[in-house]
Amino acid sequence: MGVATRTVDQLEADLTALLRAAQPNRRLTEMADDGSPKIPSLIAVFLINQVGTSVGRPKLVKLSQVNKVDLRSMGGVARLVHRTLHSVPAGPLAS
């Protein structure tokens, strides 16, 4: 199943697994207001870049246009990625 067909919950699990693989000693115990693990915005940018690279869109989002709240939790990043990937029309991904 491709990343573009994942649900928000599946994306959150995938992003958590990616972060755990990249930083196995990072603790994800503090929760954000949305109930998902709280993360620093720099980690959010790393995760977004990893997804963008995996789908062939290195500039997946314009960070200057992103709601900063989305960059504070794993769930926020998952929702942002989900919205972005589902706004792309079917067929080859546009640059």
| pLDDT per position as a tens digit, 12-59 | 999 999 999 999 998 899 999 999 999 999 999 999 999 999 888 889
Helices (H), the chain: 8-22, 41-54, 74-86
CA 66 to CA 68: how far, in whole Å? 6
- C-alpha Rg value of the chain to the nearest Å: 13
Domain ranges of the chain: 3-86
**How far out from the chain centre does Cα 67 lie?**
13
Model pTM score: 0.85
